[in-house]
Amino acid sequence: MKLHLTGSPCSQQRHCYYVEGDDLSYIVDCGYQRCYAGDELPHLSGEQIRSARYLFLTHSHENQAGGLFHLIQNGFAGRVVLTTETARQLTIPLDDPIILEAISLPYEEAMLPGGLGVTWGRSGHCSGSVWLRLSLDGRAVLFSGDYLDCARVHAADPIQGLTADMAVLDCDYGTAQSANSRRDQVTELLDAIRGAIDDGRPVVLPVPLYGRGQGILTYITEHLPDVYLFGDDRFIEELAHLNASAMWVQQRAIQRLADAFVRPLPEGFVALGVYFISDPQLDSAAARSLVGSILQCGGRIIMTGTVEPDTYAASLRHAGRAQLIRYGVHCTQQDMLRIAAQNAFRRVIAYRSDYAPTQQVYEL
């Protein structure tokens, strides 16, 4: 059995793994990475795409699922395996997917046709996100997805007490430890928002539609309860949907979010408050228009995650008109090593770390 790292050379920014068994092959994630112009898609051959019996998606974010249409266009005729929430969040409909919640509960192994064993758990990254342990031909591979066991909002089933011949673990923040702990990051972000509001300056927070923005929202609600909150239509709709996807949300977070009153974006004027925009790179004309209005009023644009090169968000940051205050939602090497120590993995692959892959194909 072989594990092919087909997301390379974009490392952790573009996930895609092809596992080749004796009689069955499968793909895990099919990420798209916009900043690699002309090389945005996984390095899967046409034969690999056509031969894969299954495609597993750990969650819906672009760098995990953005290449789905490419796979379908290029001959993938297998079945997609994912959660109900991930299926809902995708931009294209799926033909006869396998829903993880329908075949087993977390930690319980289910067998798919062809002899592929599937064990899954919630990863804490966003609604519908999972980690996977996949066993085939007497070998097991664990894929952590974007696992976060200290998430503020979303529920996680701990990766503990598991065995695998190989584990591909999230280590997106690598060996370079942030100058601040996660707690200090939150403090810095809240202080920046508080200072801007006290100075009469509105704040824009461009965030992904699923995941990070909801965690930031709970901190603002708790620590800055008098600040007006605004959100675009998609952000507000997703907040409303969380009650319908309660299995993915921590019980304590449901109350925190219930206390958050997020108003629609004001029309024709700029109000003092915090604006959640579901467009982290500010791609849309609507987002750019709002940002322009906020900047004209002396407002602040605060990025809290990766700023992709050659985007409008990157141009603002380069011009000193936006700043980055990271709100961590991935693992550092220290986190990754702690997770590895809680399990029995024969080999660990963790991009951007001392355990980063040194080859494209691994024998299991």
What's the topology of domain 2-175+330-363?
A: Metallo-beta-lactamase; Chain A (3.60.15)
Contact present, 155 and 163 (Cβ < 8 Å): no
Tell me, what's the pLDDT at 32? 87
Report the chain's mean pLDDT, rounded to a whole number: 93
d(CA 18, CA 52): 8
* Architecture, CATH, for domain 182-324: 3-Layer(aba) Sandwich (3.40)
pLDDT of residue 308: 87
Residue 30 CB neighbours (<10 A):
32
What does the pLDDT look like over 110-169, one tens digit per residue? 999 999 999 999 999 999 999 999 999 999 999 999 999 989 999 999 999 999 999 999
**pLDDT given at position 140:** 98
User: Domain residues of the chain, as ranges?
Assistant: 2-175+330-363, 182-324
pLDDT of residue 12: 46
pLDDT digits (tens, 9 = 90+) for 30-76: 998 877 777 788 899 999 999 999 999 999 999 899 999 999 999 99
Give buried/exposed letters for 307-328 (b at 16+ CB in 10 A, else e).
bbeebbbbebbeeeebeebbbb
pTM: 0.94
Average pLDDT over residues 82-101: 95
pLDDT of residue 178: 54
